[in-house]
Amino acid sequence: DVVLTQTPPTLSATIGQSVSISCRSSQSLLHSNGNTYLHWLLQRPGQSPQLLIYLVSRLESGVPNRFSGSGSGTDFTLKISGVEAEDLGVYYCVQGTHAPYTFGAGTKLELK
């Protein structure tokens, strides 16, 4: 199975600070059809996960544009340009290029 390694496990930030989360895959996530099925989710405390970014860099409708995604192959990054209080929670990357679908272990974003 594909292993997604997220770093750091925990991220402490102040409001307004820009932060990045890394997601590294044990295999290339470039599918033979040319797509890279790597997405990002946020799970706020006590809530269900919600979709933020899909296909590496596409912003889900309604998600603020302070969120951005980048990367290719095995290395991917989620960036938040100016953390706001509502951004706190656990961020997960998920891949769908290889069966079975797998998630990263999560990165917890907390206030410093």
16 vs 45, which CB is nearer to another protein?
A: 45
Continuous segment of H or E residues that includes residue 87: none
Query: In angstroms, what is the minimal distance from the CB of 16 to another protein?
Result: 28
Would you state the structure tokens that stand for residue 24, as one six-digit string?
């590294």
* Beta carbons of 90 and 43 less than 8 angstroms apart: yes
**Of 13, 51, 59, 88, the one binding another protein by CB under 8 A:** 51
Which of positions 24-43 make contact with another protein (CB under 8 A)? 31, 35, 37, 39, 41
Write each residue from 82 to 101 as x if it is in contact with another protein (CB under 8 A), else as -, in one continuous string: ----------x-xxxx-xxx
16 vs 62, which CB is nearer to another protein?
A: 62
Rounded Cα distance between 10 and 13, Å, is 10
Q: How far is residue 51 CA from its own chain's centroid?
A: 9
